[in-house]
Amino acid sequence: MAENRDWMYNAPRVSVEFINNVNDFLERAFANGAVGDEICCPCRICCNRFWYSRDVVYNHLIVKGFVENYYDWFFHGEGVSSRMDVDDNNEEVDVADDAQDNLDGLLHDVFRDVAEESLVNQEDDLSDHEERLTKEAKKFYKLVDEGKQQLFPGCKTFSKLSFIIRLYLHKCIHGLSNEAFDDYLAIWREAIPEINLPKSYYEAKKIVMDLGLDYKKIHACPNDCMLYRGEDGEKVACSKCGESRWKANKQGVPAKVLRYFPLKPRVQRLFMCSQTAESMSWHAKERLQDGNLRHPADGKAWKDFDSNHPDFALDPRNVRLGLASDGFNPFRTMSISHSTWPVILINYNLPPWMSLKPEYFMLSLLIPGPQSPGNNIDVYLQPLIDDLKELWEVGLLTYDASSKQPFYVRAALLWTISDFPAFAMLSGWSTKGKLACPCCNYDTCSQYLKYSRKMCYMGHRRFLSDNHPWRLNRRNFNGHVELGKKPESLSGIEIVEELHGFVNDFRKKQKKKN
């Protein structure tokens, strides 16, 4: 081990050495692995299962000590591959002291703790191993190997891949044209003839696309009526409102563009790292099942889903997703009214300390402004829905780096996460007015307050037990005794039956012309 951590178990817990090292550990943990003001406690009792503030974790470690064999601080922002490497003489070398880039650092914002796995480093017979690799896995590992190439002989600051990504990032941040990027590459090749760089922006972009860091641009009607995809991909005007596909007096420049980050290759990437691939089954193999609610797998919704779809639950690697969406102003100023809507997928297969990390969030859609899409958000969700339906019905051939075997992975969207206004957009149920409650449905107990000009909802006592004293409390509520029963929630089948034959008119409301 590059860093000696024997103090965790050999030094007396009241010694200055142990206390100083615990403080150093807490500094690193809160810098890299904190969620809010808490980290998971690595003491002998908590075993990285419970989250506490710094003072509580400090007291636990001083009194109880560290959990056994926790030399690699994986739950506190440190992966094995990101902290150490092995040189040609099988001696461990601290990567922090080595100037060379590795894939972990380059792709830290996309996937964490990427294992150093490539075709040339597998212990299996190469020909047999290659037969088991899927096409996407071969492409990925080929790029990993190419990324380890030196930028030029003797260069220890950049690898070929890290330099290309750094240039590509520079181009995006500063808005450089493709021609300017080509000129950059030409200058570098002229200054260092033996430099290992692509010849054009097109070749550099292809490398980034193969790594799964690209997105698709899908033209949209400016009135949110339709997307120009599939059979409508070649149309130049909206088939519903007749609005032109292009901006006025700018032929070839789309009026509105949806950016879609394809889901299927990103699901495949989850299993191409051995550490992440193992974590995808954490909820079934390592989760403590003692009846306490610590993970969505402990909840009723997850268990009901498994009982209703036993074929899906048979393989714990099948992906359970949650969808979150909300609008934000990208210009950081209240003087401009603009609302861009990201749609983010959350992977609930992972343990809690991983699934809610930004590194594991999957940005799926960027719905353009300037106004909120409102009920028309369904139009923009179409490409994501198509991928989800394919992942549910057919599955996707994927290579599992932990078992070194291909398999068909499936995915299901179990939850949506949003505030009440966004919930109205995603569900199609209005969350304001007389029928604002999506649970009570048509049995919503609402009353209009004449002088405040607002709706008031007072039927919440119906959800209490029949003998609850608050049901008879007139004074502190609306002056009436509550004898009603809680409304029955509609089942999925009932909702489908009610919506049978309903046609939703997707389009932005047009201003009336005088």
Nearest CA among 309, 294, 272 for reference residue 411: 309
Nearest CA among 312, 340, 351, 292 for reference residue 112: 351
Q: Please tell me whether residue 23 adopts helix, strand or coil conformation.
A: helix
Cβ–Cβ under 8 Å, residues 425 and 373: yes
Whether the per-residue pLDDT at 131 is higher than 60: the answer is no
CB proximity list for 374: less than 8 A, separation 6 or greater: 224, 425, 508
> Residue 93: what pLDDT?
38
Q: Per-residue confidence at 120, pLDDT binned at 50, 70, 90?
A: very low
Rg of the chain over all Cα atoms, to the nearest angstrom: 28
Task: List pLDDT tens digits, range 275-294.
Answer: 888 899 999 988 888 888 88
The mean pLDDT value of the chain amounts to 80
| Amino acid (one-letter) located at 395 | G
Q: DSSP states of 93-119 as a string? A: EEGGG--S--HHHHTTTTSSS-----G
Task: List pLDDT tens digits, range 70-104.
Answer: 887 877 866 433 333 333 343 433 333 333 334 44
> Residue 390: what pLDDT?
94
> Residue 144: what pLDDT?
64
Task: List pLDDT tens digits, range 230-241.
Answer: 888 889 899 888
* Inter-CA distances, 219 with 214, 222, 243, 300, Å: 16, 9, 13, 40
CB proximity list for 397: less than 8 A, separation 6 or greater: 134, 406, 407, 408
Lowest mean pLDDT among 9-13, 68-72, 284-288, 345-349: 68-72
Q: Per-residue confidence at 317, pLDDT binned at 50, 70, 90?
A: very high
Whether the per-residue pLDDT at 126 is higher than 50: the answer is no
Helices (H), 114-177: 126-132, 135-147, 160-174
What is the spatial distance between Cα 326 and Cα 181, in angstroms, rounded to a whole number? 35
> Residue 314: what pLDDT?
92
What is the spatial distance between Cα 212 and Cα 269, in angstroms, rounded to a whole number? 8
Give the global pTM.
0.66
Q: Per-residue confidence at 381, pLDDT binned at 50, 70, 90?
A: very high
Q: What is the mean pLDDT of residues 180-199?
A: 87
Length of the chain: 514
Q: Torsion-angle region of residue 154: left (phi > 0), alpha (psi -120 to 50) or beta?
A: left
Burial 16-32 (b: 16+ CB within 10 A, else e): eebbebbeebbeebbee
Backbone φ, ψ for residue 471 (5° rounding): -65, -30
Q: What is the mean pLDDT of residues 237-264?
A: 88
Count of alpha carbons within 13 angstroms of residue 463, beta-carbon side = 10
> Residue 511: what pLDDT?
54
Whether the per-residue pLDDT at 329 is higher than 80: the answer is yes
Cβ–Cβ under 8 Å, residues 374 and 343: no
Whether the per-residue pLDDT at 246 is higher than 80: the answer is yes
The pair of structure tokens assigned to 355 is 């699934």
What is the spatial distance between Cα 144 and Cα 147, in angstroms, rounded to a whole number? 5
Whether the per-residue pLDDT at 257 is higher than 80: the answer is yes
The pair of structure tokens assigned to 311 is 């074929």
Counting Cβ atoms within 10 Å, is residue 486 exposed (0-12), middle (13-18) or buried (19+)?
Answer: middle
> What is the CA 482 to chain-centroid distance, rounded?
44
Cβ–Cβ under 8 Å, residues 191 and 475: no
Q: What is the mean pLDDT of residues 328-348?
A: 82
> Residue 109: what pLDDT?
33
Q: Please tell me whether residue 411 adopts helix, strand or coil conformation.
A: strand
| Amino acid (one-letter) located at 259 | R
Q: Please tell me whether residue 340 adopts helix, strand or coil conformation.
A: strand
* DSSP tally for the chain: helices H, then strands E: 20, 16
| Amino acid (one-letter) located at 148 | K
Q: What is the mean pLDDT of residues 158-180?
A: 78
Lowest mean pLDDT among 139-143, 191-195, 214-218, 396-400: 139-143
